[in-house]
Amino acid sequence: MRCLAERYRGLGREVMAIDEDAVWGERRVDRAPVDYTTASSLFYDLLHSERDAGESPPPAQVVQVFEQLVNEALDRSAIWLQDWCWSDLLGLLAWDHQAVRVTLQQLQKIAAALAPRVIYLRVDPSVALLRALEERGPRWFNRHAATPFDGPVTATMVDNWQR
């Protein structure tokens, strides 16, 4: 996503890049815990300000933030780039299935103004895993591979995990 954003900016286009770290905060878990305060202010207020209370934002608030971001992109004539999906986000909130479904329908209607295109990049799984490992570090890998948290990551472990 970063390369695509740089390319569009190099062509003189306005880009609104909303990456996973802007939503959740810096997630390089091998170096430190997730820093939620680094999330963009809208997402921090939406997702993390109530974090200590263990509450999820209400659906109307999520829709409002999304609509605000879409309007900003339209006002700036910006290309919207996003490397995560709203259904993943909503799945992490403590909402019932009906609230998730209705909210996704609302978000889809709002996003229509952006004339969205979904692009799935086909990447060799080994390359993708090594890139993620480089970016996220061994603790990330070990957490997902169910190996000792601080143990080293070997080529054999990566190969076995891909199967």
Query: What would the pLDDT profile of 79-135 be if each residue is shown by its tens digit?
Result: 999 988 888 888 878 899 999 999 999 999 999 999 988 877 777 777 777 777 777
Could you give the CA distance from residue 46 to residue 106 in angstroms, rounded to a whole number? Answer: 17
Q: Phi, psi (5° rounding) for residue 29?
A: -70, -10
Arithmetic mean of pLDDT over the chain: 82
Considering only residues 53 and 94, tell me which one the structure prediction assigns the higher pLDDT.
94
Q: Phi, psi (5° rounding) for residue 11?
A: -90, 5
List the one residue out of 21, 66, 70, 73 whose CA is nearest residue 46.
66
Residue 66 has pLDDT above 90, yes or no: yes
Cβ of 156: how many Cβ atoms within 10 Å?
Answer: 8
Tokens describing residue 57: 């934002």
pLDDT category at 148 given cuts 50, 70, 90 is low
Q: What percent of the chain has pLDDT over 90?
A: 35
Given this model, what pLDDT does residue 119 score? 79
| Residue 68 C-beta-side C-alpha neighbours within 13 Å | 10
Mean pLDDT of 134-155: 66
